[in-house]
Structure formats: C-alpha cells, structure tokens
Amino acid sequence: MTQSVVVQVGQCGNQIGCCFWDLALREHAAVNQKGIYDEAISSFFRNVDTRVVGDGGSISKGKICSLKARAVLIDMEEGVVNEILQGPLRDVFDTKQLITDISGSGNNWAVGHRVFGSLYQDQILEKLRKSAEHCDCLQCFFIIHSMGGGTGSGLGTFLLKMLEDEFPEVYRFVTSIYPSGEDDVITSPYNSVLAMKELNEHADCVLPIDNQSLFDIISKIDLMVNSGKLGTTVKPKSLVTSSSGALKTRPKKPFDAMNNIVANLLLNLTSSARFEGSLNMDLNEISMNLVPFPQLHYLVSSLTPLYTLTDVNIPPRRLDQMFSDAFSKDHQLLRADPKRSLYLACALMVRGNVQISDLRRNIERLKPSLQFVSWNQEGWKTSLCSIPPVGHSHSLLALANNTCVKPTFMELKERFMRLYKKKAHLHHYLQVEGMEESCFTEAVSSLSALIQEYNQLDATKNMPVQDLPRLSVAM
C-alpha cells in the first residue's frame, strides 16, 4: 500500500485541508470499527505511540494509539492554523509539521514566492523530508492552495518546484482554487497568472476548481432544501442548520460548505488507493492515462452526489442518473460544459455496490453525446471501489481532460491584461527583490501558449474519425 502527503498552503488551503482530515477520519471510523491500524488508514495517517519521545513512536500494526496526519501545514499568517490547533482536530496534526509567520503575504504573489520562499525554503524542505521518511512507499504529494491570494499562489507554487527537485519520482497533484470574477482581491489576476506559469511547468496534474461554481452548487442545495424538493431533509447540526435546527441565514460566501465539496473530491480521488475494489486505480494511473501532453494536465472534476456527508439527506439518485449527472454542467466544479467541448481522456471513479457491467453500459450509453479527439476514441479509465462514502450507497467522481477549461483561462488572461495595460498595482510587485516586468510578460506568454494548445485541439472538433487499417493475423 502506498502513502500520500498533503501539503496545505495559505488560508484557503488550510481550511480545505481541515475539512479533508475531518471527513477522512469519519470515513475510516465508519469502515474500521475495530480500531485496528490497517493499510487503508496508513495511506494518510501514521500510528504514533505518544509515550515515546521523539520520532521513534511509529507503530506499523495493531491497535490505533494516536493517529497523526501525513500533512504539512503552511501559512504566512497564524490565524487559520491556530484555529485548527485549538479545534477538535488539534491532536491529529504533528506540531513539528507546521510553518507559520505573522505578517502574511499581503495578497502579493511576489512576497509569497520570492520573499517567504527563500526565507522558509530550508524549513519547508526539512518538514517535507521528515514527512517522506515516515512513509514506506511515498507515491504522491497533494498540494491544496488558492490562486488569488499571496501565500497560496506564491509560496504554494514555490514549494511545487522544490518538490520536483527533491522528489522527482513522486507525483504532484495540485488542487487549485481559482478566484471568481467578483473576487475581493484586486490583484488576484496577477497572482493567478504568475502562479499558472509555475503550475504549467512543475505540476503533474492540476484539478482547477472555481469559487463561483462551488458557490452556485451550495446555492442550489439551499434552494432544494428551502423548497422541500425531492423529499429533501436537512441533517441536524449540518452546515445549513444552526444548533436549534432552524435554517441558517447563509453568509454571503459559505466557505465551510464549499470547502466540504473540495474535501469530498479528494476523498473520492484517493478512495481506490485506500480501499479494496474489483477495479482499482492507482494515483499514478490518473496522470499516465489522462495526460497525453505534459502541459495539458488540467483535469475538470465533477462529483455526484454533491452533498456527501454534509448538508442534506436526499434520496439516492438512480445509478444511470448518477452517470448522466457527472457529465452535466451543473455538477462540474469549474464553470464549464464538457459535453460541448472536446475530450482528450476521461476517468470515472465509482464507489459502492456497482458492477463493471453497469460501468460499461453507461459508458456505451453516454458515448454518442461526448466528443473525443480522433486519436483517442477509447480514452476511458475506470475504477470501482467497493467502499461507498459514508451515508450513501454509491458515488461517482469524473475527471475530464477536456478543452472546456479554456474559457476559464481566457477570462483570467483578460482580467490580467485589464490591470497590466494600465500597469495598475505593478509597483507592489516590482519592489520585491528579483521581480521584474519580464516575470509578468513571461507568465502571460505561458498562459497564451496553453490557450493556443487548446485552440489547436478544438480546431479538430467535428473532424471525421478515420478507421485505421488493422493488422491481419493469419490463422
């Protein structure tokens, strides 16, 4: 069994990370009721004997003593990490695996990347090495960060390059939260485009998630709950109810519920690596099968059901409907419509009591409505994990390498150019040592080149698929 390390960077990264560890513990508690430290738990948790001083207290088998997350928590402000350390999950994190500062990056990629990157490089490297040493077979680093702020975008992409240099054989999966057009950080287009260049060059797979999509999904859940559609009932003490059971008036940005969706995405993504199933998919297989060209490693994710473990008890969707939902634009975690764009490849990760025949039948049913590139008409990768999410009979995560990501990148470039043409706020970046205007021109050129690659693929859409002659075998 392989292990993975989660590196959560910045306010957004740490808040999503906290949600992830909470849900992971609940999921393993539901499956592992005897409290035995097994291979499934070992993929994300160490079993530590707290009576042993130092690092010698790891226990590889037997009863669970004290679980420690395979995580590194980094933020250049103390607030969120301190909140985690005072919350119910405080004992899950090894305090030696935290790095915080007090000043913050001031929504400036250059401060996060150049200033804090060089200042904390040795410390970060030490924590990463320590996490790796605790693994028998380290397969993957999961980086969780946002693109719009300073620490998540700047320091988050700085450590991506460090991971590539230090652990070149270990996969780097990045969950990147992209800002919406109405983002309250004025400099977020600069931060996002500067970060994009680093993601293009140093990530193996990027799961781009759009704040606006998450907000829209949560709004739809609210609407269903308040209208009483589909026999929906609200779970007590959930993210949509207060302790008294009355509906909460949601804050303008319900980040807790939004973070929960991203945490569930990561749980489902790793389920096949953690639990048994008739058709397992290793994390390295995702990159191998879904990324045909090095830079086109952006995978659009969709999740069904969307409310796993969180807000509402909704009657389970019929199995076939679940597959249809995964390809509808309402279930995408990025504002995109993959059915109207071109697929390079697609992975379906199914959990629960689902048969391989169900999987094949639904792929055949959906195929005519989906356009794949001519040279990869059978570009499907599938997995079946027998353990469903807590509270559900089955679930589906779809990962699509699809040209529908292009509009998100084009919109980001437009927002960047609106600021850059006026040289607005540029001086905040240029006063950081090592930052020059060429950093901006190179970053936007990198993004333009990526968009152009998607344009070239889109130009092949609707082209006839040629049946290549097959080799005849004499019998």
Residues whose CB falls within 8 Å of the CB of residue 387, separated by 6 or more in sequence, listed in order: 31, 271, 275, 276, 277, 351, 352
Tens digit of pLDDT at every position of the chain (475 positions)? 789 999 999 999 999 999 999 999 999 999 888 888 988 899 999 998 766 656 556 666 778 888 999 999 999 999 999 999 999 999 999 999 999 999 899 999 999 999 999 999 999 999 999 999 999 999 999 999 999 999 999 999 999 999 999 999 999 999 999 998 888 889 999 999 999 999 999 999 999 999 999 999 888 887 777 776 544 444 444 443 333 333 344 444 458 889 999 999 999 999 988 988 888 888 889 999 999 999 999 999 999 887 654 445 555 568 899 999 999 999 999 999 999 999 999 999 999 989 999 999 999 999 999 999 999 999 999 999 999 988 888 899 999 999 999 999 999 999 999 999 999 999 999 999 999 999 999 999 999 999 999 999 999 987 766 654 555 555 4
Give domain 407-460's CATH superfamily. Answer: Helix hairpin bin (1.10.287.600)
Are the beta carbons of 397 and 269 closer than 8 angstroms? Answer: yes
Backbone angles phi, psi at 63, to 5 degrees: -65, 150
Give domain 302-405's CATH superfamily. Answer: Tubulin/FtsZ, C-terminal domain (3.30.1330.20)
What pLDDT does residue 446 have? 98
Rg (CA), the chain: 22
Q: How far lies 262's CA from each of 241, 305, 425, 452, in Å?
A: 20, 13, 31, 29
Distance, in Å, from the CA atom of 76 to the CA atom of 71, rounded to the nearest integer, reads 17
pTM: 0.91
Strand partners, 206: 174, 298
Distance, in Å, from the CA atom of 299 to the CA atom of 405, rounded to the nearest integer, reads 8
What pLDDT does residue 88 have? 93
Distance, in Å, from the CA atom of 183 to the CA atom of 191, rounded to the nearest integer, reads 12
Per domain, the residue ranges of the chain are 302-405, 407-460
User: Closest Cα to residue 240, out of 228, 248, 231?
Assistant: 248
Are the beta carbons of 68 and 94 closer than 8 angstroms? Answer: yes
Distance, in Å, from the CA atom of 35 to the CA atom of 140, rounded to the nearest integer, reads 26
Burial letters for 129-144: b for 16+ Cβ neighbours within 10 Å, e otherwise? eebbebbeebbbbbbb
Peptide bond preceding 305 in cis form (omega within 30 of 0): yes
Distance, in Å, from the CA atom of 85 to the CA atom of 91, rounded to the nearest integer, reads 8
Q: How far lies 419's CA from each of 25, 422, 426, in Å?
A: 44, 6, 9
